[in-house]
């Protein structure tokens, strides 16, 4: 980046980090109107929204359709695919084990497993690479294992159905988002602690927070009120019925259920103060230009002024309103966001059944919480009405990091 452009970006970031909130916080009918307008403009069939203030739900609404073909409305009890916001819930469960002394975040996973990791068929690809022994639960939860997102994704982000699991860089040295890492943490719990992760999640999250409409695997009861996913052009994609527990993203949930969990996490309910703070603390700085492709070596200092970094199961940074953290969920026909202002315990949860959902995230956060400085370009939450900001160079020239939306 040219020196002038860099300074301009730095000034924009600094202003975002220090300017007090000025945007109105919409609620009630005004917020409903804003959501419906944004959905219509972005081509989103259905979206559910929860707003949390000081750890308590103050707005819970569903908008649009869960099934366009049958003209069925989306409701606050509609089953929706959680995708990767499952990871935050799983990280919470792991931290309950940390509280009990059953997991040490900095202990090698080799100490937990009854036999070497490559001796298990699922991880046989790692035979001959002893770096797996340096991997710890902390690295699995903060995405620093050196794994790809999933083994079938190449370094360039393309799909290879015969891909083998590899360690692409020294574990602990840098951030690279990895569902493989999260699933390995589940494997350690299942096989090292001899605890069923699905049962653990049921007892420590679903039961605690009254999440009766949620499950880590498909239940036939979900079919009665189910959201159908839609691609960018509005083509129906159905709803996958997942038959196995996957900590990286097998959960089905409702806006009401996950909002209960998110409000509880904002309050640190069920976690010791130390573990809760550790989960939300920056573990390692993030300097990738964008989150995907995960193994890209393109780096930037654009987000250093907001101290963008990985927590445990979340991403954290400095917002104009104090420390903030978030986690997205992304799959074909699904776009979700859980976002919290840590000190205020104010949060927003967005679940959508559309591949267009991410285009409204920044706008809805601004409408509900005021300025948040969401690093939307890094997360690829490019606003729906500014497709010209999708290219990295175009974005640097026309929209510096964290500058106010316009």
User: What whole-number distance in Å separates Cα of residue 44 and Cα of residue 37?
Assistant: 10
Task: Answer whether residue 18 shows pLDDT above 70.
Answer: no
Rounded-to-integer distance, Cα 125 and Cα 166, Å: 7
Is residue 372 assigned to a domain? yes
The pLDDT value recorded for residue 400 is 58
Show Cβ contacts of residue 57 under 8 Å, excluding neighbours closer than 6 positions: 50, 51, 259, 260, 263
Query: With the C-alpha atoms ordered 62, 233, 150, 312, is the resulting torsion angle positive or negative?
Result: negative
Residue 52 within a domain: yes
Q: How many CB atoms lie within 10 A of CB 3?
A: 7
Rounded mean pLDDT of 266-292? 97
Token look-up 């500014």 returns 386
Q: Is residue 364 situated within a structural domain?
A: yes
pLDDT at residue 322 is higher than 50: yes
Q: How far apart are CA 321 and CA 274, in angstroms?
A: 22
- Which structural domain, as residue segments, surrounds residue 337? 3-103+193-398
Q: How high does pLDDT run on average in the chain? A: 92
Question: String of b and e for 75-107 (b: at least 16 CB within 10 Å)?
Answer: bbebbbbbbbbbbbbbbbbbbbbbbeeebebee
Residue 64 confidence class, pLDDT cut points 50, 70, 90: very high
Element (H, E) at 350: strand 346-352
Tokens representing 398?
Answer: 């026309």
On whether residue 118 sits in a domain, the answer given is: no
> Rounded to 10 degrees, what is the CA torsion of 129, 130, 133, 137?
-20
Q: Dihedrals φ, ψ of 133, to 5°?
A: -70, -20
Look at residues 204, 336, 321, 341 and name the one whose alpha carbon lies nearest to residue 269. Answer: 204
**Cα–Cα distance for residue pair 327/325, rounded to 1 Å:** 7
Residues 101, 203: Cα–Cα separation, whole Å = 18
Flag whether 360 is in a domain: yes
Considering the domain boundaries, does residue 158 fall inside one?
Answer: no
**Residue 389: pLDDT band by 50, 70, 90 thresholds?**
confident
Q: 86-99 vs 273-280: helix axis angle to the nearest 10?
A: 140
In a domain, 187, yes or no: no
State how far the Cα of 401 lies from the Cα of 303, in Å rounded to an integer.
7
Query: What CATH number did the domain enclosing 205 receive?
Result: 3.40.710.10
Q: How many domains are there within the chain?
A: 1
pLDDT of residue 8: 33
**Distance of alpha carbon 400 from alpha carbon 389, whole angstroms:** 10
Query: Is 179 contained in some domain?
Result: no
**What confidence category does residue 157 fall into, taking pLDDT thresholds of 50, 70 and 90?**
confident
Report d(CA 384, CA 395) in Å as an integer: 14
Mean pLDDT of 233-242: 98
Mark 272-303 as b/e (b = at least 16 C-beta within 10 Å). eeebbebbbbbbbebbbeebebbbeeeebebb
Q: Which residues pair with 339 in a beta bridge?
A: 326, 348
- Tell me if the pTM is above 0.75: yes
């Amino acid at each position: 980046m040219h020196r002038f452009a860099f300074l301009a970006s730095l000034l924009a970031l600094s202003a975002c980090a220090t300017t007090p909130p000025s945007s109105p916080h919409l609620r009630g009918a005004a917020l409903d109107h804003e959501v419906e307008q944004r959905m219509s403009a972005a081509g989103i069939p259905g979206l559910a929204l929860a707003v949390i203030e000081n750890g308590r739900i103050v707005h819970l609404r569903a908008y649009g359709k869960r099934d366009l073909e049958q003209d069925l409305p989306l409701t606050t009890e509609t089953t929706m695919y959680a995708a990767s916001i499952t990871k935050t819930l799983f990280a919470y469960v792991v931290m309950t084990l940390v509280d009990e002394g059953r997991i040490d975040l900095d202990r090698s996973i080799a100490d937990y497993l009854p036999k070497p990791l490559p001796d298990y068929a699922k991880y046989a690809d790692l035979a001959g690479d002893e770096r797996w022994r340096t991997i710890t639960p902390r690295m699995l939860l903060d995405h620093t294992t050196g794994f790809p997102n999933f083994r079938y994704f190449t370094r360039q982000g393309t799909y290879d159905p015969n891909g083998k699991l590899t360690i692409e860089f020294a574990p602990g040295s840098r951030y690279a988002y990895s569902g493989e890492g999260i699933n390995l943490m589940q494997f350690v719990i299942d096989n090292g602690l001899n605890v069923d992760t699905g049962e653990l999640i049921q007892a420590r999250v679903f039961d605690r927070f009254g999440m009766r409409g949620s499950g880590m695997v498909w239940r036939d009861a979900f079919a009665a009120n189910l959201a159908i996913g839609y691609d960018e052009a509005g083509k129906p994609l159905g709803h996958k019925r997942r038959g196995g527990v996957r900590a990286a993203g097998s959960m089905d949930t409702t806006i009401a259920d996950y909002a209960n969990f998110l409000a509880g996490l904002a309050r640190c309910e069920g976690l010791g103060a130390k573990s809760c703070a550790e989960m939300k603390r920056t573990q390692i700085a993030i300097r990738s230009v964008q989150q995907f492709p995960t193994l890209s070596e393109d780096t930037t200092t654009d987000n250093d002024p907001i101290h963008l970094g990985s927590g445990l199961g979340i991403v954290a940074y400095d917002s104009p309103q104090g420390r903030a953290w978030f986690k997205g969920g992304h799959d074909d026909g699904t776009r979700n966001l859980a976002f919290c202002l840590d000190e205020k315990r104010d949060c927003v949860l967005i679940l959508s059944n559309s591949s267009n959902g991410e285009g409204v995230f920044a706008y809805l956060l601004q409408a509900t919480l005021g300025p948040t400085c969401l690093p939307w370009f890094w997360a690829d939450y490019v606003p729906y009405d500014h497709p010209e900001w999708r290219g990295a160079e175009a974005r640097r020239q026309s929209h510096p990091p964290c500058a106010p939306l316009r």
